[in-house]
Amino acid sequence: MDINKYIGNKIRELREKKNLTQEELAEYLDTTPQTISRYEIGDRKTNQDVLFKLAEYFKISINEFFPPLNFDNATLMEINSDTIQIPVLGVIKAGIPIEAQEDIKEYIEIPRSWTRGGKSFYGLYISGDSMYPKYESKDIVIFEQTEDYQIANGKDCAVMVNGDDATFKKVFLDDEGITLQAYNNSYPAMRFNKEQIESKPVKIIGIAREKRTRL
Residues annotated as catalytic are 130, 169
Count of C-beta atoms within a 10 Å radius of residue 172? 16
Provide, for the chain, the percentages of residues in helix, strand and coil under a 3-state DSSP scheme, each rounded to the nearest 5. 30, 30, 40
Pick left, alpha or beta for residue 92 (phi over 0 → left; psi -120 to 50 → alpha; otherwise beta): beta
Alpha-carbon distance of 181 to 168, in angstroms, equals 9
Residues 6+ positions from 203 with CB-CB distance below 8 Å: 147, 159, 160, 161
Nearest to 92 by CA among 163, 154, 151, 155: 163
Residue 214, classed as helix, strand or coil, is: strand
Residue 84, classed as helix, strand or coil, is: strand
Residue 93 is given by DSSP the state: -
